Amino acid sequence: MAVRKVLTYPDPILKSVCSPAQAGPGDREETGRVIADLLDTMDSFDHCVGLAAPQISESVRIAVVDVTDHPNAKDPHGLMVLVNPRVVHRSEGTKVSREGCLSLPDLTANVRRPRKATVEFLDGLRDFEMNQVQLAGFEARCVLHEIDHLDGILFLDRVASITDDLFRRQNYR
C-alpha cells in the first residue's frame, strides 16, 4: 500500500490510548489498509523489528512484529500481525535490556521487561482468527514494546533512571 511517515516524540498521538481495531467483515478493508501500511513502513527501515499503528498516525490497536532475522531472536514466531492484542500473562522474572524506537530516533534506553509473556490477539495474517502465543526473550520484549505504543506508553516511561539508563543513539552501536 504505502510507506508512511513515522511520528516522533513529542507528537501527542504517541501518548494516546488507541481504540480497538474493527475486524468485522465490513471493516476488513480499512483494517487491511492499516496493516499493509504498517508492513510497508516497517520494511522500509533497516533493522526494524516492529511498528505500531499510532506511529503512522493511526490510533487503532494494531501492531506488526518480525524478529526472524535478528541475532537476539531465539525460536521466533515469524511475522505477527497483532490486531487488538492483549497481554494475558507476564512472567515474574524480568530482564533489563537496551531498547530503541523509530519514534525516538536519537535515543536508546535500558528498559526492564518480563522475560516471558503470553499475548492474545486477532491474527491479521489468518483472517482475524483469535490466536494466543507464548513469547520469550527478545521477541517478548519487542511485542510488549509495540503493545505499549497502543496504550500511549513509550520506552521513556519505563526507564528507571533518566541519568543512568538513557543514551544518545550515536553513543551506542
Active site residues: 146
**Pick from 60, 81, 65: which is nearest to 128 by CA?**
81
Distance CA 144, CA 135 (A): 10
Question: CB under 8 Å to 120, separation ≥6 — which residues?
Answer: 85, 86, 88, 130, 131, 132
Q: How far apart are the first and last CA of the chain?
A: 32
Q: Which three cell numbers stand for residue 5?
A: 511517515
